[in-house]
Each structure stands twice: as structure tokens, then as C-alpha cells.
């Protein structure tokens, strides 16, 4: 007779089981693995050469100053933007794998709790992001002499805040897909690009009209990219910016989790979990 040891509390074993499921999947498909590195590498090379060109032009024309500074932060901004985007994509795509394979009902009728499901997706977002971005940060150093890891303590603040934002968005998007079916899956790829112009990835907040600056400062990534410019250009560690971003992120995570739970509950009531499709 099989002995059941299922617990009702949060179970790292169940989180591990789901992570194992995604690692099995990743291992079974080399294109899935290659794709994790491909886009970040292509982007980094493109923006890296652009940065090199802008710096050279700024030097040759004697414009210097602002142009060189703007060019100098391009690779860093790109790598941090990709941290945010790849982390959110890692969360959402792992979730979407359950929808594509029509496995979601099997999971949600098991003892797996929503918080464990979310924890497994968070773990996978970190794993997928690390696989994609760690080699690319090394390429950035070899090709263009940009050392992201050299940002030290500031990088910890950037990373923590971007990861939290990505999870909050991942939770909300996953909830929307649960409730509305795969017709909403495009959100996983597009939602962050709506945020991008206001998050001031490649230019300072001061470049926005005053009324848009207010919106920009509501977004945690804005603080991170301002912090990056302060670190690269001014050699300053802006802990104040990181703490403000963290405070907003705590609120965003609460909203993301509440949205996920509410949309999951709504999907359950509507019987939508067995009829997942376009």
C-alpha cells in the first residue's frame, strides 16, 4: 500500500516537482535552450556596436560629453532591460507550457497550491534568465569591455527590483491567460513593451514631458535605469532609488498575487480550466 505524505502546508517538494517538470522539458529540446541565449546575444551585439559607434563619433566630432555618456550606458541598459524582460518571459512561458500541453487541470486538481505553483514559476524565471543572460554579460565584457558584474552592490539592487517587477507582471498575465484562455497569451510578450517608453530605459526621466515623468516614477524599472546611469556615469550608488523601487514593488507583487488568485478563482467557477484554448 502506498503511503501518502502529502502535507497541506507550503511544500518545497511540490515546488521541486514542478521545477523538475520544466527542467525535463528544457533538457528534451535544444532549440528551447538555444533560444534563451539567442535573442539576448543578438540584441547585445547590435546595441554594443551602436554604443561603440556613438562613442567614436562623439570623440571624433568633439561633441563628447552628453553623447558619450548616452552611448556609454546603452549596453548596461540593454542588459538590465533584458533581465526584466527575460525574467518575466521565463515566468510566463513556463506557465504557458502548461496551457499549451493542456496539463493545467491536472496540476490544479493536485495538492499543488497556487503559492507553490507561483514559486516554481519564479524559480524557473530565474533559471531561464540566468541561462540566457550570464553568457551574454560575459560576451559584453569580451566584445565591448562592459562589465555588468563590476557594478557590485548596485547590481544587487537593480536585479532584486527588476526580478520583483517581472514576477508581479508574470502573475497578473498568467491570471489573465487562465481566465481568458490562450487568446490572451500575446500579453506575455507585449505587456512590458508598453511599459518600456515610460521606464526610461535608454534616456533619463528628464527627457520626458513633465506629466509623463509622474507616470514614469510610478514604475519601479524607472528607478533602476536612473540608478544605472548614476552608477555608470556618476559612479554613485543611489540606494534611495532602490529603496523607493522596492516599496513600489512590494505593492505591485501584492496586486499581481491578488489578481492571479482572483482570476484563478473566477476561471474555476466558470469551468474555464477544462476548456483552455484560443
Element holding 252 (H helix, E strand):
helix 239-270
Site for another protein in 109-148 (CB under 8 A): 109-113
Q: Which stretch binds another protein (CB under 8 A): 12-20, 54-62, 81-89, 207-215?
A: 12-20
| Among 33, 37, 97, 203, interactor with another protein by CB under 8 A | 97
**Residue from 46, 57, 101, 266 in contact with another protein (CB under 8 A):** 101
Whether 85 contacts 36, CB under 8 Å: no
C-alpha cell read off for 53: 559607434
- Minimum Å distance from CB 15 to another protein? 10
Select from 17, 127, 131, 134 the one that contacts another protein (CB under 8 A): 17
Contact 168, 253 (CB under 8 A): yes
Interacting residues with another protein between 181 and 240 (CB under 8 A): none
Cβ proximity to another protein: between 209 and 271 the closer is 271
Determine if 57 is a binding residue for another protein (CB under 8 A): no
The answer to whether residue 61 forms part of the interface with another protein (CB under 8 A) is: no
**Structure-block grid coordinates of residue 260:** 492571479
Residues 83-119 as b or e (16 or more Cβ within 10 Å = b):
bbbbbbbbbbbbbbbbbeeeebeebbeeebeeebbbb
Number of residues that bind another protein (CB under 8 A): 34
Q: Work out whether 8 is an interface residue with another protein (CB under 8 A).
A: yes
Judged by CB under 8 A, which of 28, 30, 60, 152 binds another protein?
28
Burial 151-168 (b: 16+ CB within 10 A, else e): beebbebbbebbbbbbbb
Amino acid at each position: 500500500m502506498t503511503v501518502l505524505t502529502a502535507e497541506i502546508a507550503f511544500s518545497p517538494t511540490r515546488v521541486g516537482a514542478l521545477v523538475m517538470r520544466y527542467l525535463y522539458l528544457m533538457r528534451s529540446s535544444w532549440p528551447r535552450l538555444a533560444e534563451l541565449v539567442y535573442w539576448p546575444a543578438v540584441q547585445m551585439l547590435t546595441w554594443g556596436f551602436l554604443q561603440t559607434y556613438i562613442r567614436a563619433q562623439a570623440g571624433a566630432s568633439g561633441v563628447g560629453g552628453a553623447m558619450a555618456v548616452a552611448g556609454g550606458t546603452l549596453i548596461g541598459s540593454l542588459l538590465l532591460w533584458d533581465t526584466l524582460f527575460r525574467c518575466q518571459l521565463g515566468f510566463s512561458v513556463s506557465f504557458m507550457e502548461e496551457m499549451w500541453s493542456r496539463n493545467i487541470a491536472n496540476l490544479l486538481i493536485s495538492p499543488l497550491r497556487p503559492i507553490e505553483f507561483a514559486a516554481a514559476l519564479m524559480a524557473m524565471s530565474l533559471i531561464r534568465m540566468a541561462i540566457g543572460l550570464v553568457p551574454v554579460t560575459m560576451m559584453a565584457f569580451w566584445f565591448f569591455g562592459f562589465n555588468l558584474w563590476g557594478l557590485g552592490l548596485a547590481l544587487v539592487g537593480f536585479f532584486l527590483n527588476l526580478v520583483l517587477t517581472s514576477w508581479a507582471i508574470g502573475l497578473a498575465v498568467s491570471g489573465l491567460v487562465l481566465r481568458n484562455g490562450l487568446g490572451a497569451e500575446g500579453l506575455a510578450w507585449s505587456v512590458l513593451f508598453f511599459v518600456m517608453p515610460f521606464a526610461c530605459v535608454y534616456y533619463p526621466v528628464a527627457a520626458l514631458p513633465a506629466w509623463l515623468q509622474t507616470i514614469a516614477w510610478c514604475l519601479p524599472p524607472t528607478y533602476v535605469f536612473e540608478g544605472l546611469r548614476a552608477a555608470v556615469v556618476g559612479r554613485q550608488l543611489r540606494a534611495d532609488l532602490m529603496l523607493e523601487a522596492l516599496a513600489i514593488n512590494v505593492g505591485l507583487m501584492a496586486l499581481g498575487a491578488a489578481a492571479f488568485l482572483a482570476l484563478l478563482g473566477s476561471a474555476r467557477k466558470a469551468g474555464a480550466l477544462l476548456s483552455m484554448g484560443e
